Amino acid sequence: MTANAFFQLALYLGVLILLAMPLSRWLTRVMAGDIPRVLRPVQWLEHGLYRLAGVEPKQEQHWLAYALGLLLFNVLGFLALYALQRAQGVLPLNPEAFGAVSSDSALNTAISFVTNTNWQGYGGESTMSYLTQMLGLAVQNFVSAATGLAVAVALIRGFARKSVRTIGNFWVDLTRGTLYILLPLSLLLALALVSQGVIQNFKPYQSARLLEAQSYSQPKLDAAGQAMKDAQGHAVLESVSTQTQTLPMGPVASQEAIKLLGTNGGGFFNANSAHPYENPTPLSNFLQMLAIFLIPAALVLSFGQQVGDRRQGWTILAAMTLLFVLAYGVLVAAEQAGNPRWATLGLDQLVNLEGKEARFGIVASSLFATITTAASCGAVNAMHASFTPLGGMIPTLLMQLGEVVFGGVGAGLYGMLVFALLAVFIAGLMVGRTPEYLGKKIESFEMKMTALVILVTPLLVLLGTALAVSLASGRAGIFNPGAHGFSEVLYALSSAANNNGSAFAGLSANTPFYNFLLGAAMWLGRFAVIVPVLAMAGALAAKPRLPVNAGTLPTHGPLFVGLLVGAVLLVGLLNYIPALALGPIVEHLQLWQVAH
Amino acid sequence: MSQSLSQQFRPALVLLLGLTIITGVVYPALTTGLAQAIWPWQANGSLLQRDGQVTGSALIGQAFSGPRYFWSRPSATATLAYNGLASGGSNLGPTNPALQQQVSERVAALRAAHPGQSAPVPLDLVTTSASGLDPHISPAAAAYQLERVAAARHLPVETVARLVKQHTRSAQWGILGEPVVNVLALNLALDELPQ
């Protein structure tokens, strides 16, 4: 690791904490219904929505009603987004006249955005109309993040309350999270991004006259518009020349802001945050990286405030930061070590620049990749498929750890709290006491739910990967030969089941097989986790809070940080080392063996 | 206490519609209005004009192959390099023989096009970017091409070197990102020079 790699990390973490502290207090107030003065003028909107919806904001819900409402809202959101994609051809705000998205791709994308995954099987600039982008995709960017936030807050209430049957009101949590947290932050970030060059307009795509005519070859088409084939069945190519470049346009900045703040990650364009119109400068890149971790970090601190013991929040944050720094160290070192096969070519440096932008370089690309996969964002500013084997293994592993290293908005915290329960359970077994966390006895029901949450995603990832590499339709999508091809599939399933959404993009995943397989993984990876978490929240809320005594294991401080990191790594590594050995680890050995 | 599904249908539908209008219509419209009022050039794509005609964007690279221009990085976009409708990278893995072959071929082609150049080949000129639209090259990549461009234009090397220096942007605020040269802006400025 170079000095600059350390410096950029320290700068990033320093600014992040400085911003997360005030936001955590904001979060705590808003989710308790105490709206800060600047936003009180917006309250008529909140109350108007409740009146129209027939919601009584003071009436709280049992966990079952909370979960039922959440599921219903997400199913309706899925149906609306599917319908919008299928109908975009006849709807307005479609200057490039894109037709309906194919049914399997629309299904996959609808699930993908509703579950906060934002896996992109499509290329935005050649598929989605402006209307679909803003009225469909961007809306789910907001409400899927608000859904995650609601679940986390419900779980926090489970710990903070004693002997009650309710965990809050889903409709209220959803609305407040959207109106008072996600929207104001998005507006500020969108404008900051525009100042750097991110576009925001509704114009048709622009034509630019190139300085130099460009010749290229393309498949020759017959009179019917079909690609012509020669006697051997190869496509006939014709040489053509152009002096025009088409520049895509659209309302990008507004969508970009929530893409990062909501840890969504679905880009307006195919190249995502590597595209200069999405992420034009190193400063826009720095703001984007901050935006990804901002709400997850603030929520962890807010958790400490809400349960009445700030140390609990800082302890969780320390565990997350430790895992994050370790991951970044390995990733940046691997990318800076580069590709040994290029050593004899006479190049000026040997770092791995393939699939990276010149303005970001190795360090900002490596930092972004660590952040986007530690959080379940999935935006990319470099192509993970072209990372070195170990550099690509870190994003894979961060997703496989369950997206608990900061994680998605809400999802990161509730995922990590489940691991905290596992840690106190293991510690309780070692000393022979009933485990407690924040004064709540952790009993059989909580441990069953914990086990369920922790085991759902590895099952989806490992079984899904096994299925895909066993079937011809799964293997057909693989792009790179050898171990790297296996890594592509493992990455795709890890990304989908853990609701990240980034890809080793060589994989041709826009096929019916992958659209259905990954769609199922995304849906179950989201809601088969949320429901047990809410059940646990309900069970915890009903328990009394026991006073701390001499025998209570303190769940703050370095010892618990160690226990928590240990629990996360134990589960993650036991589940995934064999699969990783077949992909990135064997590829790493092959790459460096040839060099010596 | 548990509410039935039918009772939850109205809030689900109304809030989905209401939040769709707020986040899907009002928010992007408000952002567009503010962006167009405060930063219209940036919001409309940072377009560069020459003779009253759009000749590209300051943010989107173009392909150059003639001796009179500085060359951009290789691009992996579909059909043609720097295709604005198909952003993306090569996605070639580090052990893929195709990547090794492409990089070797680009090194050989660069050396052949710069016979007098003994400096090591700049890495960014033989690797594709993530977007395929990278508008920048490294200062080393510009320096590598300096003599070729100056010779093709019958200009003193110092004149071209000065122009490159003017178009070199150091790390933003001194600490963020890498120093880069904007290829399109540099080539436009070259065309402006008296021959």
Q: Is B49 on the interface with A (CB under 8 A)?
A: no
Are A54 and B10 in contact (CB < 8 Å)?
yes
Residue A1: the pLDDT is 64
Whether residues B178 and A342 touch (CB distance < 8 A) is answered with: no
Q: Which amino acid is at B75?
A: S
Q: B55 and chain A: CB distance < 8 Å anywhere?
A: yes
A359 vs B2, B93, B136: nearest CB: B136
CA distances (Å), origin A351, targets A47, A338, A366, A384, B94: 55, 4, 12, 15, 12
What confidence category does residue A433 fall into, taking pLDDT thresholds of 50, 70 and 90?
confident
- Is A271 near chain B, with CB under 8 Å? yes
Give A-chain residues touching B127 at CB under 8 angstroms: 353-356
Q: What is the dihedral of CA A40, A34, A184, A53, to 10 degrees?
A: -80
Alpha-carbon gap, residue A472 to B191, rounded angstroms: 54
The count of residues in chain B is 195
Place of tokens 């964002």: A377
Nearest chain B residue to A481 by CA: give it. B96
* Complex prediction ipTM: 0.96
Q: Pull the structure tokens for residue A181.
A: 């947290």
- pLDDT of A596 > 60? The answer is no
Give, in order, the Cα–Cα distances in Å from A267 to each of A124, A315, A359, A371.
7, 33, 19, 16
pLDDT at residue A66 above 90? yes
Which of B47, B103, B133 comes nearest A276 by C-beta? B133
Which pLDDT band holds residue A217 (cuts at 50, 70, 90)? confident
How far is A422 from A419, CA to CA, in rounded Å? 5
Q: How confident is the model at residue B2 (pLDDT cuts 50, 70, 90)?
A: very low
What pLDDT digit, counting tens, does each position of B119-176 carry?
999 999 999 999 999 999 999 999 999 999 999 999 999 999 999 999 999 988 889 9
Q: How many whole angstroms separate alpha carbon B156 and alpha carbon B147?
A: 9
Which residues from chain A sit within 8 angstroms of residue B114, using beta carbons?
none
Sheet of B136-137: strand order equals B136-137, B180-182, B168-169
User: Inter-chain contact B18–A52, Cβ cutoff 8 Å?
Assistant: yes
Neighboring chain A residues of B24 at a CB cutoff of 8 Å: 134-136, 138-139
- B172 CB neighbours in chain A (<8 A) are 281-283
Specify the pLDDT at position A595: 47
Mean pLDDT of B189-194: 92
| Predicted structure pTM score | 0.95
Q: What is the mean pLDDT of chain B?
A: 94
**Cβ-defined contact of B178 to A178 (cutoff 8 Å):** no
Q: Is residue A102 predicted with pLDDT exceeding 70?
A: yes
Instruction: For residue range B99-135, list pLDDT tens digits in order.
Output: 999 999 999 999 999 998 999 999 999 999 999 999 9
By the 8 A CB rule, do A249 and B57 touch? no
Interface of B with A in 132-171 (CB under 8 A): 132-138, 140, 171
Verify whether the Cβ–Cβ distance A171 to B15 is below 8 Å: yes
Of the candidates A203, A274, A281, the beta carbon closest to that of B130 is on A274
| A445 inside 8 A of chain B by CB | no
Q: Work out the number of other CB atoms within 10 angstroms of the CB of residue A48.
A: 11
pLDDT for residue A226: 77
Confidence of residue B1 (pLDDT cuts 50, 70, 90): very low
Cα nearest neighbour of B62 on chain A = A210
Interface test mutation site (partner B, options A137, A142, A173, A247, max chain B beta carbons within 10 A): A247
Contacting residues for A136 by C-beta, under 8 A, at least 6 apart: A80, A81, A84, A85, A113, B24
Say what the pLDDT of residue B162 is: 96
Residues of A in contact with B45 (CB under 8 A): 199, 201, 206, 247, 249, 277
Contact B132 A380 (CB under 8 A): no
pLDDT of A343 above 60: yes
As beta bridge partners, residue A216 has A240
Q: Is the pLDDT of residue A255 over 50?
A: yes
Pick among B7, B8, B30 to test the A interface (most A CBs inside 10 A): B8
Q: Do B24 and A255 touch (CB under 8 A)?
A: no
Structure tokens at A38: 């600047």
Chain mean position to CA B177? 14
Closest CA to A190 of A253, A251, A133, A142: A253
**Tell me, what amino acid is at A108?**
N
Put simply, whether B75 touches A (Cβ < 8 Å) is no
Q: Which residue of A has its CA nearest to B104?
A: A345
Q: Do A348 and B56 touch (CB under 8 A)?
A: no
pLDDT of residue A235: 78
Answer whether A480 sits within 8 Å of B96, measured CB to CB.
Answer: yes
List the structure tokens of B31: 């952002």
Interchain contact, A212 vs B65, CB within 8 Å? yes
Percent of chain A with pLDDT over 70: 99
- Please name the member of A139, A274, A345 whose beta carbon is closest to the beta carbon of B107: A345
Using a CB-CB cut-off of 8 Å, the residues of chain A touching B90 are: 354-355, 383, 386
Which among A156, A130, A366, A77 has a CA at the least distance from the CA of A248?
Answer: A130
Which residue in the set B2, B42, B80 is minimally distant from A195, CB to CB?
A: B42
Distance of residue A201 Cα from the nearest chain B Cα, in angstroms: 6
Tell me: pLDDT of A158 over 50: yes
Segment A33-61 shows an average pLDDT of 94
Instruction: State which residue of chain B sits closest to A342, comparing Cα positions.
Output: B100
Question: Rounded to a whole number, what is the distance in Å from the CA of B189 to chain A's nearest CA?
Answer: 12
Q: What is the pLDDT of residue A594?
A: 56
- Which residues, including other chains, have CB under 8 Å from residue A98's CB and lie 6 or more apart? A88, A89, A126, A127, A128, A129
CB-count exposure of residue A96 (10 Å: 0-12, 13-18, 19+): middle
Quick check: helix, strand or coil at residue A240?
Answer: strand
Contact between A567 and A419 (Cβ < 8 Å): yes
